[in-house]
């Protein structure tokens, strides 16, 4: 059957050759909204302003690119894949935009995944590091057992999604605080012009027919 392209009857939207981080936090449009709330935790009222979010993401980006290796973690380079395995929390946008600012792509794992489901996405996406909500740590540990990665190795590939949390944080693992406030990038990794076509997000289908399949964005 020949391919057929279906086009909307609405006018085409202009495409901007810039990363999602640049679009949200561009210096020329950002200052007027610096003190406006970006995210609010409904349970605790903890609020992250747009200015704080920008600062946190550039700080986390610096930590992942510079400090992780010093702590014994994997060497991450532009295009490395970061997995985020967490329900909606105040830490989620910091992890996402911090990883993108560092030049990495993010693969987003469903927080209801079982260890085998998580293992498939970990292997298929070729992830190098995983941000994990503390409540999902055991699922992650079971996943690493399935993919036959030793405890000595997987402990250096786990970062607990602890920003905004004050209790229930297991010891013996990296936390977000290990990488925030250690330094900061002066600007995000640029993805403008021809580089704007690089993958930023690697999302997966529900797997209704066979294994979930990755979709590059």
Express each pLDDT in 99-154 by its tens digit: 999 999 999 999 999 999 999 999 999 999 999 999 999 999 999 999 999 988 99
Here the tokens at position 184 are 């900061």
Residues in the chain: 217
The neighbouring-strand residues paired with 85 are 109, 132
Task: Provide the whole-model pTM.
Answer: 0.89
**Dihedral, CA of residue 65, residue 104, residue 88 and residue 207, to nearest 10:** -140
Q: Of 153, 159, 154, 152, nearest to 173 (Cα)?
A: 159
Query: Which pLDDT does position 31 carry in this prediction?
Result: 55
Q: Does the domain made of 36-216 have the CATH classification 3.90.550.10?
A: no
- Would strands 47-49 and 37-40 be described as parallel, antiparallel, or unpaired? antiparallel
> How far apart are alpha carbons 44 and 52 in whole angstroms?
17
Q: Where are the domains of the chain?
A: 36-216
pLDDT (mean) for 184-212: 82
* Lowest mean pLDDT, pick from 24-28, 63-67, 212-216: 24-28
* Segment of 8-12, 19-23, 85-89 carrying the highest mean pLDDT: 85-89
Q: Of 196, 217, 189, 193, nearest to 205 (Cα)?
A: 217
How far, rounded to the nearest angstrom, does the alpha carbon of residue 55 sit from its chain's CA centroid?
Answer: 16
Higher pLDDT, 64 or 5: 64
Give the 3-state DSSP-derived string for 41-110, with helices as H, strands as E and coil as C: CCCCCCEEEHHHHHHHHHHHHHHHHHHHHHCCCCCCCCCCEEEEECCCCCCHHHHHHHHHHCCCEEEEEC
């Amino acid at each position: 059957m020949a391919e057929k392209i279906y086009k909307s009857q609405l006018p085409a939207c202009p495409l901007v050759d810039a990363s999602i981080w640049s679009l949200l936090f561009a210096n020329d449009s950002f200052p007027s909204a610096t003190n406006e709330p970006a995210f609010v935790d409904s349970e605790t009222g903890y609020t992250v302003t747009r200015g704080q979010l920008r600062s946190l993401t550039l700080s986390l980006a610096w930590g992942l690119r510079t400090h992780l290796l010093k702590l014994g973690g994997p060497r991450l380079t532009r295009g490395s894949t970061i997995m985020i395995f967490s329900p909606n929390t105040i830490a989620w946008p910091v992890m996402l935009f911090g990883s993108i600012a560092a030049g990495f792509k993010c693969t987003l794992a469903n927080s209801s995944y079982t260890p085998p489901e998580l293992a498939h996405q970990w292997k298929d996406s070729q992830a190098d590091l995983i941000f994990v909500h503390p409540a999902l740590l055991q699922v992650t540990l079971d996943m690493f057992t399935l993919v036959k990665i030793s405890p000595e190795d997987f402990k250096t590939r786990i970062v607990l999604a602890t920003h905004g949390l004050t209790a229930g944080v297991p010891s013996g693992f990296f936390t977000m605080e290990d990488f925030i406030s250690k330094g900061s990038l002066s600007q995000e990794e640029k993805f403008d012009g021809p580089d704007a076509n690089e993958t930023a997000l690697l999302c997966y289908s529900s797997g209704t027919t066979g294994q979930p399949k990755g979709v590059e964005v």
